[in-house]
Structure 1
């Protein structure tokens, strides 16, 4: 039995099946054998989508029989933003979005909410941004806790996100600890994205060994091109085995771009019988 068979998977529909309209992607994931999916914030800059937009998204998932396992709070990745919670000019939009995201997550049974920290901005000190971030993450953690969800905090890679504030596992873990100390809830967790960490040159085995108890979710893509496992440099069987040995029981988020541009062709590395669950 391989380590991959001992884990469960969720497919990120903001990057996979992106050749299809958003509302068609849950059905496409189901056709490929998946029963779980996750999303970045799916409404662009709109921090308060209409009831009709939200209802349509819910229907797409429920009709497909796919569980939405993860959702981002407000971000706008299409414009190069990497979150809004530490950016003074965007902070109010983030706060207004918190109840919207939490209500949508609750209605779909989603129990993992990712809050991208945001880029450093000119004219504002790092200390000021970090203080604002802690305030907003505390609000988000408490809101997530109200529906039994965890709050995820993620490291991104410097090559693709040079202005992002958290570019090491240690930096993200430090924020996780501060949020948990502020709330006393313990529901802030590290989103361990193996692709971003590898691109930053981190020792993935060491990160897993040191921080397994604080990992709330894992996402993957091969390096350096961010395609499916088997197209690059990472030994996923070894990494999966390390996660299993460390006691990780969460899902593995497939957050990669298909090498040939066709999402349905990018899952050969994962036998169909492992995709559901």
Structure 2
């Protein structure tokens, strides 16, 4: 098991381009990010500066979101018909970053429901976009991730169970679409976490303790037991203003 730190939720007291080095200084060899740019298709300077910051820090980019609307309070664009062009204009940019940095996982947040539009239409748009994204990701040796969130914090997000996410993954019809197993969100929804981790389509794991979304040890989840024997990257996607990573030593015991 290897821990990587999500620098879009941790180290946010530092400018974006300083976060990979801060993660390295804290002892991490891997980082992941939500979409790190303001523009849908950032200019070469923005992409190059981001990629250089990761390279110069000597860390692995483990995961990267495709263009998302998290800063605007959203939960992704893949199912949103009005954002189809905006999203598709971004796919090559995200895949290019992944190819340059050896990133093997690109997260495709499904998107909140759009009131007044057919849910069936939104789901069809999502599957089309996922299939296109998967083909572009495959060209650089990456997988596309589909994530289930919890309905308490994301009430308009339709994928709130392992089954819901797996149905979408299978519907996309591409061999490199995988499940992002976020134990915090699944725990909030009462899912069987052991079964979720054992699912053959798991492509990446993220953790936070529950309730509270704090660092391991601040809630009720037996994360050490759950992850015992898991040998992939585990993304730290929790809230901790104090940046206390002392739990990792205890976690490994």
In which range does the TM-score fall when normalised by the shorter chain? over 0.9
Q: How far 1:18 moved relative to its partner?
A: 0.7
Structure 1 equivalent of residue 49 of structure 2: 56
Task: Give the Cα separation in 2 of the matches to 1:147 and 1:153.
Answer: 18
Q: How far 1:250 moved relative to its partner?
A: 2.0
Residue in structure 1 matching 2:234, options 236, 240, 252 = 252
Gaps of 5+ in 1: 1-6
Structure 2 equivalent of residue 202 of structure 1: 191
Q: How far 1:230 moved relative to its partner?
A: 0.2
**DSSP-derived class of the 2:191 partner:** coil
Alignment of 1:128-147 (within 5 A): 128-147=121-140
Task: Give the Cα separation in 2 of the matches to 1:173 and 1:238.
Answer: 24
CA contact (8 A) 1:35 1:66 kept: yes
Q: Deviations over 1:120-166 (max 9, x none)?
A: 11111111111110000000000000001011000011111100010
Q: How far 1:78 moved relative to its partner?
A: 1.5
Output the aligned Cα RMSD: 1.5
Residue in structure 1 matching 2:181, options 172, 187, 192 = 192
**DSSP-derived class of the 2:75 partner:** coil
Residue in structure 2 matching 1:237, options 219, 224, 228 = 224
Structure 1 equivalent of residue 31 of structure 2: 37
Alignment of 1:259-270 (within 5 A): 261-263=241-243, 265=244, 267-270=245-248
1:161 aligns with 2:154: yes
Q: How far 1:206 moved relative to its partner?
A: 2.9
Q: How far 1:16 moved relative to its partner?
A: 0.7
1:69 aligns with 2:51: no
Task: Give the Cα separation in 2 of the matches to 1:21 and 1:165.
Answer: 33
Q: How far 1:30 moved relative to its partner?
A: 0.7
Structure 2 equivalent of residue 96 of structure 1: 89
Task: Give the Cα separation in 2 of the matches to 1:69 and 1:208.
Answer: 18
Alignment of 1:79-90 (within 5 A): 79-90=72-83
**DSSP-derived class of the 1:153 partner:** strand
Structure 2 equivalent of residue 3 of structure 1: none
Q: Deviations over 1:13-47 (max 9, x none)?
A: 00010111111111110111111101000013x11
Structure 2 equivalent of residue 150 of structure 1: 143
Task: Give the Cα separation in 2 of the matches to 1:9 and 1:269.
Answer: 12
1:222 aligns with 2:200: no
Task: Give the Cα separation in 2 of the matches to 1:205 and 1:68.
Answer: 27
Task: Give the Cα separation in 2 of the matches to 1:200 and 1:235.
Answer: 16
CA contact (8 A) 1:158 1:164 kept: yes
Gaps of 5+ in 2: none
